Amino acid sequence: MSKTAIITGGGSGIGKATALRLAEEGVNAVIVDVDSESGEGAVQELKDKGVDAIFIKADVSKKEDVKRYVDQTVDHFGGIDYFFNNAGISGSGGHYLDTSVDEIEQIIGINLLGAMYGVRYVAEVMVKNGGGSIVNTSSSAGVIGQDSVVTYSATKHGIVGLTKSMVAEYAKDGLRVNAIAPGPTETKMVKEFYEANPKMKENATGGIPQKRLGTPEEVAELVTFLFTSKAQYINGEVIRIDGGFTNTK
């Protein structure tokens, strides 16, 4: 029987690359995104690959939207095998004391509360059905401190705590929860961030031992491995994929 994955932020970047990679393994997808055009486009590409896919428009910072995408997934596919808890925003790149309270609330709402709502409702379904696998997207800024991303970094450190503590409570119920910590990656979000903060791109690339940004497809390989490989004893890990960036800190 085919497996089903929910992918938030699935209309572009790492989310879309992962959906397409999972399709190669025959995994059906629920693409969750706030952007209808990119979300519907991703669904068509997935259907062209021969898997079933649906798009659900949702703002993950709203708990009612999160509950709705979980309920619609269960209604359509009957259950949830994999959850790539990936949606996020970076913020403006300003120093913390120059950041508005509205921006702080927006980043926390999407990156942390959105992720926690997702785990709350998805894990409830998974535990009821005997288990499942969740991969949360943290960041290099979730394992070290970084300049100009204080709120973003705080949310991504929170993802690490969410990941580890869920395993402590629910591994016995068949739940696997891991996190990935990508370094700077060639996504639309990162491109826009660096266009607004060009000095930060120079600093980041110079600090990566491999001297380049990662690609969404490289991150997708890691997520696919965590979901579909036989390495089912990996649980509660935060796996860095950053070209050695945080290894030198």
Establish whether 194 is a catalytic residue. no
Residue with tokens 């120059």: 98
Structure tokens at 220: 């997708």
Identify the H or E element spanning 121.
helix 114-128
- The residue annotated as part of the active site, out of 69, 117, 121, 152, is 152
Structure tokens at 96: 């913390």
Contact 163, 179 (CB under 8 A): yes
What DSSP string describes 47-68?
A: HHTT--EEEEE--TTSHHHHHH
Angle between helices 198-207 and 188-196 (to 10 degrees): 120
Residue with tokens 């702080």: 104
Q: Which letter does DSSP use for residue 100 in this model?
A: -
Q: Which letter does DSSP use for residue 102 in this model?
A: H
Q: Which residues are catalytic?
A: 152
